[in-house]
Amino acid sequence: MIHGISLPPGEFGGPCIDQLFMGTLDPAAHPHFREIEGLRVSSHFVIRRDGALIQYVACAERAWHAGVSSWKGREKCNDFSVGIELEGADDVPYAEPQYETLAALVRTLANRYGPLDLAGHSDIAPGRKTDPGPWFDWERLRASIATPRG
């Protein structure tokens, strides 16, 4: 599952995403953080704007990225999916290095687990979530993972 995240909303860089996933985000550090205080979320991976890849949860373990969700008739997507967060927002394009890292990660996961079914958070939780948003280039991702890399 492909997601988009920025903390505070619309801001990139800094330690806030790490702190959210590690359960150490200070609710007093930003007004938005009070709204998400106590939220327990995690993801398997985050890809920063510069393409840096961070893994928080092993792929064989459940991460808490999907929330109330359904994909192709199966509920509780956290039980059977890998969450990949891209540092970004619905109203800005994702960065070139993010697509490169994402394609490499998807190819690695496909080599390990077999063919993958790619979906966005908006696909598994329509009406509730909008990420990765209209700026995410699905065709570019699909083309880049179909092209063998040496």
* Confidence tier at 148 by pLDDT (50, 70, 90): low
Task: Please state, in angstroms and rounded to a whole number, the distance separating the CA atoms of residues 108 and 136.
Answer: 21
Q: How far apart are CA 81 and CA 16, in angstroms?
A: 24
- For the chain, give every domain's residue range: 2-146
Q: Which of 79, 81, 70, 53 is nearest to 123 (CA)?
A: 70
Note the pLDDT tens digit of each residue in 85-98. 999 999 999 999 99
- Phi first, then psi: what are they for 46, rounded to 5°? -130, 135
Return the active site residues: 85
Could you tell me which residues are beta bridge partners of residue 85?
3, 46
Which helix (H) or strand (E) segment holds residue 140: the answer is: helix 138-146
Q: What is the CATH number of domain 2-146?
A: 3.40.80.10
Strand-pairing partners, residue 115, are none
- Per residue in 2-49, pLDDT (tens digit) is 999 999 999 999 999 999 999 999 999 999 999 999 898 999 999 999
State yes or no: pLDDT of 147 exceeds 90: no
